[in-house]
C-alpha cells in the first residue's frame, strides 16, 4: 500500500481502514496567519499554500477533525508526531490531549537549528516543536543512543555509581578509596532537543517547495517508531519528505495533499530521491573551528572575529580603521614573512578596499606597505631586535634605594 493522492486528508484518511498505521507524521499549516510561497531555483515553478484563518477556533476545529481520523487509523502500538511552531503548540496540545488523552503524551520535541538572522526586536526564532503522542502506553519504540560528545568526561561516565547514607548518588569507590569502573557504555540516550541543520539554500535536496523539511529529521522519526514494512502516513505531505524517507527506509507510505503540484512533486521525489547529508551534522561544529593557539595567542587584545576558512585571513577586526575593514594575518611558525604576505595578498586581491595587517613573528625588517600590507612585529620579535641592536647595554633595573 503505497499511495500519494491529491485530496483533503479528512476524506483521504476516511478511505483507510482503522488501526493500520504505525506512524502518522503531520506538518500542517502552523497557524502563522499568512500565505507561503516560493519559487524554484530555476524560476519556472511556483509553489504556494495559504495559512490564513479567520480565528483560532476555525483552525482548532479543522485540526480536531483530522486528528480524530488520525487516531482512528493508528495501530494500538502506533504514534503520531505533530509538527508545529509557537503559533500553534498550545492549540495542538489541547487537541491531542483531547483525542489521544494526556497520559499518552510522550514528548515535546524541540527541533533547533541555526538560521539567517534579521533585525527583529527580541529573540530570533530558532526552533520548531514536534509533539509526540502514542495511541497507547504499549507503543513501538526503537531505542536510539548517540555517541558521547567530545566534551563529556568519559572517565566519569564509566565509573560505577552508588548511593551514600542519605541517598545521594556518588561515584562508587572500593575499599582502598579508588573509583570503580563499570563494564560497558551504551551511549547517551536520545533527548528531546534535536539539533539538526536547517535545509540549506544550496542543498541538492531542496525542491523549491516552501517549508520543506530535511530528510535527516524525518529519518530519525521514522526509525524511532517504525520497522521495515510498517506503514507511515502523512496527511499533509507537501513536498513529500516523509514519503521519501519512508520509501528509502523500506517502510510503506500513504500521503495526501490538497495541492496537485505538491502531489506531483512528491511522486517525482519518491521516484528519484535526492538526499544531502549535512556536513555539520557529520563532523560537528568543532571540526570547523580553527583554534590554533599560535594564531589565537597573537591575536589577543584585538577585538576581532575569527575567520575559519580563508588561508590569507585569520581574523577581521570588528571596528574599521579610517573607514576601512581590517584583516589580520599571523605569520605561522616555520613560515617566512614573505610566504605569509603572499597568502594575505592572495586573499586581498579579492577584497579590494580592505586593509591588511600582518603580525610578524620571525625574521628581519621588511617594508611591505607598497603592497598595502602593514607589518606588525610580535613582542618576542621586538625584544630580539632590541637585543641585536645592542640597545640593551647596561639596561638594568636600578637597585633599590
Q: Judge whether 138 and 221 are in contact, CB under 8 Å.
A: no
Torsion of Cα atoms, 113 then 276 then 279 then 283, to 10° = 100
Is residue 77 within the footprint of a second copy (CB under 8 A)?
no
Q: Which residue has the cell 603572499?
A: 342
- List the one residue from 192, 227, 250, 281 that touches a second copy (CB under 8 A): 192
DSSP codes of every residue in 214-251: PHHHHHHHHHHH--TT-EEEETT-TT-HHHHHHHHTT-
Residue 115 to residue 198: CA distance in whole angstroms = 7
Where does this chain touch DNA (CB under 7 A) — which range of 4-12, 36-44, 69-77, 314-322? 36-44
Give the number of other CB atoms < 10 A from CB of residue 307: 17
How many residues sit in the footprint of a second copy (CB under 8 A)?
A: 133
Q: Which does 28 bind (CB under 5 to 8 A by kind): a second copy, DNA, none?
A: DNA
Where does this chain touch a second copy (CB under 8 A) — which range of 63-71, 229-237, 265-273, 358-366? 358-366
Where does this chain touch a second copy (CB under 8 A) — which range of 65-73, 172-180, 238-246, 261-269? 172-180
CB-based burial, 129-168: b 16+ in 10 Å, e otherwise: bbbbbbbeeebbeeeeeeeeeeeeeeeeeebeeeeeeeee
Q: Which does 281 bind (CB under 5 to 8 A by kind): a second copy, DNA, none?
A: DNA
- List the one residue from 187, 284, 372, 387 that touches DNA (CB under 7 A): 187
Is residue 322 within the footprint of DNA (CB under 7 A)?
no
Residue 31 to residue 91: CA distance in whole angstroms = 10
Q: Which does 170 bind (CB under 5 to 8 A by kind): a second copy, DNA, none?
A: DNA
Where does this chain touch DNA (CB under 7 A) — which range of 279-287, 292-300, 372-380, 385-393? 279-287
Maximum alpha-carbon separation in the chain: 101
Is residue 76 within the footprint of a second copy (CB under 8 A)?
no
Residue 261 to residue 47: CA distance in whole angstroms = 7
Each residue 47-86 as x (binds DNA by CB under 7 A) or -, in order, gives: ----x-------------------------------x-x-
Q: Which ranges constitute the DSSP H helices of 56-117?
A: 56-73, 89-100
Residue 340 to residue 329: CA distance in whole angstroms = 8
| Residues lying near DNA in the complex (CB under 7 A) | 27-30, 32, 34, 36, 38-39, 41, 51, 83, 85, 113-122, 125, 148-149, 151-153, 155-157, 160-161, 163, 168-171, 182, 185-188, 197-198, 200-204, 208, 210-211, 276, 278-281, 309-312, 346-347, 350
Amino acid at each position: 500500500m503505497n499511495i500519494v493522492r491529491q485530496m483533503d486528508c479528512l476524506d483521504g484518511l476516511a478511505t483507510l481502514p482503522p488501526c493500520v498505521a504505525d506512524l502518522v507524521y503531520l506538518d500542517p499549516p502552523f497557524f502563522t496567519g499568512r500565505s507561503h510561497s516560493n519559487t524554484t531555483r530555476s524560476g519556472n515553478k511556483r509553489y504556494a499554500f495559504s495559512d490564513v484563518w479567520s480565528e483560532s477556533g476555525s483552525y482548532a476545529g479543522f485540526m480536531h477533525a483530522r486528528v480524530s481520523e488520525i487516531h482512528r487509523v493508528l495501530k494500538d502500538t502506533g504514534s503520531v508526531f505533530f509538527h508545529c511552531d509557537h503559533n500553534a503548540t498550545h492549540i495542538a496540545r489541547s487537541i491531542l490531549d483531547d483525542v489521544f488523552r494526556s497520559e499518552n503524551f510522550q514528548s515535546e520535541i524541540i527541533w533547533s537549528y541555526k538560521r539567517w538572522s534579521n533585525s527583529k526586536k527580541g529573540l530570533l526564532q530558532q526552533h520548531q516543536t514536534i509533539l509526540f503522542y502514542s495511541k497507547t502506553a504499549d507503543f513501538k519504540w526503537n531505542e536510539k543512543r548517540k555517541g558521547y560528545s567530545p566534551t563529556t568526561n568519559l572517565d566519569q561516565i564509566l565509573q560505577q555509581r552508588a548511593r551514600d547514607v542519605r541517598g545521594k548518588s556518588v561515584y562508587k569507590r572500593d575499599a582502598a578509596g579508588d573509583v570503580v569502573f563499570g563494564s560497558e557504555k551504551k551511549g547517551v540516550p536520545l533527548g528531546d532537543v534535536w539539533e539538526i541543520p536547517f535545509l540549506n539554500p544550496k542543498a541538492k535536496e531542496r525542491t523549491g517547495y516552501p517549508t520543506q523539511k530535511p530528510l535527516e529529521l524525518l529519518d530519525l522519526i521514522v526509525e524511532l517508531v517504525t520497522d521495515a514494512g510498517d506503514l507511515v502516513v502523512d496527511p499533509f505531505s507537501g513536498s513529500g519528505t516523509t514519503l521519501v524517507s519512508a520509501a528509502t527506509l523500506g517502510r510503506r507510505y500513504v500521503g495526501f495533499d490538497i495541492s496537485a503540484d505538491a502531489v506531483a512533486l512528491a511522486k517525482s521525489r519518491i521516484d528519484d530521491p535526492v538526499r544531502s547529508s549535512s556536513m555539520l551534522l557529520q563532523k560537528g561544529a568543532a571540526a570547523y573551528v580553527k583554534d590554533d593557539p599560535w594564531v589565537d595567542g597573537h591575536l589577543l587584545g584585538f577585538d576581532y572575529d575569527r575567520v575559519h576558512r580563508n588561508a590569507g585571513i585569520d581574523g577581521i577586526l570588528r571596528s574599521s580603521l579610517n573607514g576601512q575593514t581590517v584583516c589580520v594575518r599571523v605569520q605561522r611558525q616555520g613560515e617566512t614573512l614573505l610566504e605569509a604576505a603572499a597568502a594575505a595578498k592572495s586573499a586581498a586581491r579579492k577584497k579590494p578596499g580592505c586593509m591588511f595587517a600582518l603580525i610578524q613573528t620571525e625574521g628581519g625588517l621588511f617594508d611591505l606597505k607598497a603592497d598595502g600590507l602593514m607589518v606588525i612585529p610580535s613582542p618576542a620579535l621586538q625584544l630580539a631586535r632590541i637585543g641585536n641592536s645592542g640597545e640593551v647595554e647596561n639596561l638594568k633595573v636600578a637597585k633599590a634605594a
